[in-house]
Structure 1
Amino acid sequence: MGAGKPTLAQIAQSLDLSTATVSKAINDKPDVSKATKKKVEQALKDSGYRKKAQNKKAQCIEIVFQELENLWEIEVLRGLTECAAEHGLSVVVTESGDHQHPASDWASGVIARNPVGVILVFSSLTENEASLLSSKDIPFIILDPSGAPSPNSMSVRADNWTGGLLATRHLIALGHRRIGIITGPSNMLCSKARLDGYHAALEEAEIKIDDNLCREGNFQETGGLVQGESLLSMRQPPTAIFTCSDRQAMGVYEAARRLGFSIPQDLSVVGFDDIQTAAYMGPSLTTVRQPLREMASCAAEMLLKSRQGRNQTHNSVILPTSLIIRNSTQSIG
């Protein structure tokens, strides 16, 4: 190979291998045979080649929220920290951006932090950002994506359509026919899926869909209050409301109190998420359980499998939702 320090390309040429294969062998990638790795290691030793020092991975998983202010995020964090602890990892929490995309300076920051992987809640990345993270060997996964994720991106979400179907079927089984709905933001995939499930249940029961009973919320208490007051102030108010988040259900409870409606005697309410406070509302809230802890744990496991080069059957995982019946719904009189 000549005098002086050999280059990687020279070592590859001497072994009749590609530079890419030698690089993979040096970095212990799984798609290089043991025999090839052994041959490369011996050639490196014989030539005196020294591998460049690399930034050591921080032993943590980073999770990116738009905001961290309620029990929804806490439930996700619990699932993630439990899984991370099993693998000897810690968790870094970042607040950045919105439902569509983290802030513009986030990518450079995460590269400097160099975690073993990243979980993005709702948000997605541009092709350039995804390529940049890939070049630094930082896999990422989207938890509860706000839009349709790229086929090449990993994602985990709940079965929102079935959740919307179960909630509405429950109210129909109790005899309700005027069933209002307060969705989340219309540009979010989970909102659309829950609304579609609601529509499917009405069509199944041959109940005409009334667009006047549909309101767009924001998944927060304010959306439930404002849109709840709007629905309950109608000349013919609904006898039941499906709110597409438990936080919005809290707002509907307050709207009902202000307007003199008693729950569940005058108004049945179903939420979505089953956050911890749902069971302690007055009355306790019937809701669709979204498996938030399991979703976070699943996302972490997928990240770690990706880092280890283990093949996964699916890039996209959908976990089941279930109806939790409590005291906020009853048969219509």
Structure 2
Amino acid sequence: MPSSRRRATLATVAASAGVSVATVSKVLNGRSDVAPTTRSLVQSLLREHDYIAPSPRRDGPVATDTIEVQFDDDFSTYSTEIIQGVVAAGAEVGVGIVVSVRKKIDHPAAWARDLVAAGRRALICVTCDQLTTRQLAALSRVQLPLVVIDPLHLPHAGVTSVGSTNFAGGLAATQHLLSLGHRRIAYLGGQATATCNQARLHGYRAAMEAEGVPVPPAYTRSGHFRYQDGLECGAAVLDLPEPPTAIFAGCDESALGVMEAARARGLRIPQDLSIVGFDDTQMARMASPPLTTIRQPLREMGGVAVRTALRLAAGEKIDSHHVELATELIVRASTADVTCSKRT
């Protein structure tokens, strides 16, 4: 969404403020030898004109280049995996990584302008809600490339994104439980409208339908990809008159919540209840028992996002606006044959 507006220059701002270009430059550089009233006026006009400092000429990536990675929420083990992948990829090409939590954006133009003024070469957003048209337009106007990792909703057609094969992951998780003889299998997912959640749910349903196994309405629940939601939704399905013998949780964190709900009811894992997660974070490996899960290649997704963002920043064309990396079933000790269960 290119803008027809010409980029403002120091001379433009200086003329509007009735001061010299040198004075505007001093304000931009934080010099103290400018009167407070003049500084305030110049800063106001810089914002009004959406002034963006020109990027210095570079022959290639240098240590001062940075990419900003923004999250919508507080960090988790999922976030840590993404960050490690992004940082490792940045180190390989000599690009610094700045990590931040993005809250409400009231002024998209100022948000985009500040990113460029801070020297960002590109922006990576992780599991973000759909960016608004104004936000996308603001990024386009300052020519700041955007890559979205694991988008919660289908992004705008022109937005580049990196994800994983969520449907295949949901299918594999459920097929694993079916292969162990389970038929009463519940799915506890994240936000009902989230694209990744819908894909995992559809994979679950496809596996159940292929085996001719009915899915009671109470066996599928949505919440958020968090421990507390796993705890609450797990409690709800385990208290049903005919509870499941196996649960597929939409992420590792909620799977641990399900584990706690099971323990609170005196159930053993996997003897009384089999549990599968999704992500394969460090949390899955540290769980007791270690969690069977679907490995989502989070670190690799972070690396692909960095390399793609740099290609966009260099003006290169990319083959696809959406890339999906393969998921993989990782079997550990939280699942067992249904014949081991006393709840069948």
Report the TM range for the smaller structure's normalisation: 0.7 to 0.9
Secondary structure, counterpart of 1:82 in structure 2: helix
Q: Please list, as runs of the form range in 1=range in 2, the aligned pairs for 1:299-310 lying within 5 A after superposition.
A: 299-310=305-316
List gaps (5 residues or longer) in structure 2: 1-51, 58-63, 340-344
Deviation at 1:94, TM superposition (A): 1.3
Contact 1:62 1:117 in 2 (8 A): yes
Contact 2:53 2:117 in 1 (8 A): no
Deviation at 1:71, TM superposition (A): 1.0
Paired residues, number: 278
Residues 82-132 of structure 1 deviation map (CA, whole Å, 9 limit, x = unaligned): 1111111111111113xxxx5324434323323000001122422232222
Match of 1:276 in 2: 282
**AA paired with 1:292?**
L
List gaps (5 residues or longer) in structure 1: 1-51
Q: 1:53 to 1:221 in 2, by over 3 A?
A: closer
Q: Does 1:325 align with 2:331?
A: yes
Which of 55, 60, 65 in structure 2 is aligned with 1:59? 65
Find runs of 4+ consecutive structure 1 residues off by over 3 angstroms: 55-58, 105-109
Q: Does 1:113 align with 2:118?
A: yes
Which of 128, 144, 148 in structure 2 is aligned with 1:142? 148
Contact 1:121 1:144 in 2 (8 A): yes
Match of 1:30 in 2: none
Secondary structure, counterpart of 1:120 in structure 2: strand
Secondary structure, counterpart of 1:172 in structure 2: helix
Distance (Å, rounded) in 2 between the aligned partners of 1:84 and 1:162: 29
Give the TM-score normalised by structure 2.
0.78
Q: Please list, as runs of the form range in 1=range in 2, the aligned pairs for 1:2-13 lying within 5 A after superposition.
A: none
Match of 1:311 in 2: 317
Contact 2:148 2:160 in 1 (8 A): yes
Match of 2:5 in 1: none
Q: Please list, as runs of the form range in 1=range in 2, the aligned pairs for 1:159-308 lying within 5 A after superposition.
A: 159-308=165-314
Which of 130, 135, 159 in structure 1 is aligned with 2:136? 130
Q: 1:309 to 1:107 in 2, by over 3 A?
A: closer
Moved more, 131-140 or 281-290: 131-140
Contact 1:111 1:133 in 2 (8 A): no
Distance (Å, rounded) in 2 between the aligned partners of 1:148 and 1:185: 14
Deviation at 1:217, TM superposition (A): 2.4
Deviation at 1:69, TM superposition (A): 2.5
Q: 1:109 to 1:173 in 2, by over 3 A?
A: same
Deviation at 1:167, TM superposition (A): 0.3
Secondary structure, counterpart of 2:158 in structure 1: coil
Give the TM-score normalised by structure 1.
0.80
**AA paired with 1:157?**
G
Distance (Å, rounded) in 2 between the aligned partners of 1:194 and 1:68: 23
Residues 134-159 of structure 1 deviation map (CA, whole Å, 9 limit, x = unaligned): 22221011111111111211000011
Secondary structure, counterpart of 2:94 in structure 1: coil
**AA paired with 1:54?**
P
Q: 1:104 to 1:53 in 2, by over 3 A?
A: closer
Contact 1:114 1:138 in 2 (8 A): no
**AA paired with 2:297?**
P
